[in-house]
Amino acid sequence: MSIEVGQQAPDFTLFNTKLEKISLKELRTKSNVVMLFFPLAFTNVCKTELCSTRDEISIYENLNATVLGISVDSPFCLAKFREENELPFDLLSDFNKDVAKQYDSLCDDERLGFKGLTKRSAFVIDKQGQIKYAEILENADKLPDFDQIKQTLENCN
């Protein structure tokens, strides 16, 4: 499935680090949603990405956005990563890789010696469930365009 700006975001439900079910449909009724797919917890670029988001969480909150981090790591691994980095947003486990497939964010090749990691990707979904921003990076060493994500959120409000 090819993900494009303007289409309806595929709905999903995943477990967070407290083993609570988090549904995109429920979240987007309350706020816009920023979804950040990242390859693996505890890797340098992923830590940089999520910690920079943590450091700007008030900007996202002021733009009426809920931030989610999603990876194929287990909820238990993500819980430790979230705790160590004091991340104030949910990390969701896509252990079965279903959501990464839906969002065209699953790697077909081998990265870091592992197959089946997520591509670093960013999506903004508005309250109506429409994808307003989509960025799927082929190079896992690159970060999403956070300025463009914030600009998109400004236009959602």
Domains and CATH numbers, the chain: 13-156 (3.40.30.10)
Rounded Cα–Cα distance for residues 98 and 154 (Å): 30
pLDDT band at 138 (very low <50, low <70, confident <90, very high): confident
Residue recorded with tokens 């990464």: 100
* Centroid of chain to Cα 142: 15
23-58: per-residue pLDDT in tens? 999 998 899 999 999 999 999 999 999 999 999 999
Model confidence pLDDT, tens digit, residues 66-81:
999 999 999 999 999 9
Annotated catalytic sites, by residue?
A: 46
pLDDT, tens digit, 9 for 90 and up, residues 87-128? 999 999 999 999 999 999 998 766 666 778 899 999 999 999
Separation between Cα atoms, residue 68 and residue 88, nearest integer Å: 10
Classify burial at 37, counting beta carbons within 10 Å of its beta carbon; exposed 0-12, middle 13-18, buried 19 or more.
Answer: buried
Question: pTM score, two decimals?
Answer: 0.93
